[in-house]
Amino acid sequence: MDCKLALTEAKGDLAGAEVVLRKRGLASAQKRAGRATLEGLVGSYIHAGGKIGVMIELNCESDFVARTDVFQQLSHDIAMHIAATDPRFLSKDEVTQEILAKEKDIYRTQALASGKPEKVVEKIIEGKMEKFYEEVCLLDQHFIKDPSQTVSQVIAAAIGKLGENITLRRFVRFKVGDTSNQPSAVSQ
Region class of 40: left (phi > 0), else alpha (psi between -120 and 50), else beta: left
Pairing mode of beta strands 142-143, 52-60: unpaired
C-alpha torsion 26→27→31→34, nearest 10: 30
Instruction: Note down pLDDT in tens along the chain; length 188 residues.
Output: 666 776 677 777 777 777 766 666 655 545 555 556 678 999 999 998 899 999 999 999 888 999 999 999 999 999 999 999 999 999 999 999 999 999 999 998 888 888 888 888 888 889 999 999 999 999 999 999 999 999 999 999 999 888 889 999 999 999 998 877 554 554 44
- Longest CA–CA span in the chain (Å) reads 59
Q: How confident is the model over 34-76, as pLDDT tens digits?
A: 556 678 999 999 998 899 999 999 999 888 999 999 999 999 9
Strand ranges, E, within 77-186: 142-143, 146-150, 167-175
Rounded to two decimals, the pTM is 0.73
Q: List domains and CATH numbers for the chain.
A: 33-92+138-188 (3.30.479.20), 96-136 (1.10.286)
Residues in the chain: 188
Share of the chain above pLDDT 90, in %: 55
The one-letter amino acid code at 59 reads N
Residue 53 in 3-state DSSP? strand
